[in-house]
Structure 1
């Protein structure tokens, strides 16, 4: 029982931060592309890399929640 609750809390807290981070990254990337459309290639690459790093934190918390 306690391990199930702990796993739920881990994944809830561990998913909240990356979700907000990915949202902010996407919003700022779209804003930057709107301001400078010629640089969309560089912006998209950097955006995808930053989103992958943020998503890795959520995946780590998911793995940790399953091991509890």
Structure 2
């Protein structure tokens, strides 16, 4: 195996490891945030059941906002896997 082939393999392996780390850390924060949002929404609905529609709508908007960083991490991971040759 030539030195160039070994370098290419090392770069490919490093890109795959970086993609895994990116997805791991990129999903950690949003998942904790979404759990916190849903927990507080359930707590609020438990205290005031008549506010279900308002709280549910706000919860969905908050979860979508928290999910965007996870989607960005997924896109970066795909770019690392598919574009690094």
Place the TM-score, normalised by the shorter chain, in its bin: over 0.9
TM-score (norm 2): 0.78
Residue correspondences, number: 68
Equivalent of residue 54 in structure 1, options 50, 66, 76: 66
Cα shift at 1:65 = 0.8
TM-score (norm 1): 0.97
Which 5+ residue runs of structure 1 have no aligned equivalent? Answer: none
Aligned residue for 1:21? Answer: 33
Larger Rg: 2
> Which 4+ stretches in 1 moved above 3 angstroms?
none
